[in-house]
Homo-oligomer: A and B are copies of this chain.
Amino acid sequence: MPLVRISIMKGKLEGFGKRIGAVVYRTMVDTINVPEKDNFQIITEHEPNTLIYDQSYLDIPRTDGIVVIQITLNEGRTLELKKIFFKTLADKLNSELHVRTEDVFVSLVEVKKENWSFGNGVAQYAQ
């Protein structure tokens, strides 16, 4: 159900965006009850002119290693779960892929369960 959009700068190793996505997916499964295999992601790579970020907003020093992650997912996760997700994700991207934790930007967009079709023209989550 989550649809994940990841944006990074060009010039990383081939497949780096996909590896980031794999960590995002695994962290969602481990911390916010996303089902196993529920993994759908769109990754874009950018020139500096097309991925804009502030280098110090909220006194967090950011670099061109920035990773912008926007996730559309079902509403209803508690604030506590979201906090655990943000923390775990930044820590794992750092420990597994050497992304600076300062460079992990996350935006969640919550929608209703009935707003998805995973194929075959059916709203699989609607009851």
Residues of A participating in the B interface, judged by any CB pair closer than 8 Å: 3, 7, 14-15, 17-18, 21, 35, 37-46, 49-54, 56-58, 60, 62, 68, 70, 72, 79, 82-83, 86-91, 101-112, 114-124, 126
Number of copies: 3
Which chain B residues border A39 with CB–CB below 8 Å? 52-54, 57
B119 touches A60 (CB 8 A): yes
Residue pair B112, A110 in contact (C-beta under 8 Å): yes
Closest residue on chain B to residue A21 by CB atoms = B52
Point out which of A21, A38, A50, A51 has the most chain B C-beta atoms below 10 A from its C-beta: A50
Q: Which residues of B contact A108 (CB under 8 A)?
A: 111, 115-116
Query: Closest approach, in angstroms, between the C-beta of A56 and any C-beta of chain B?
Result: 7
- The CA of A111 and the CA of B108, in the complex, are separated in Å by 8
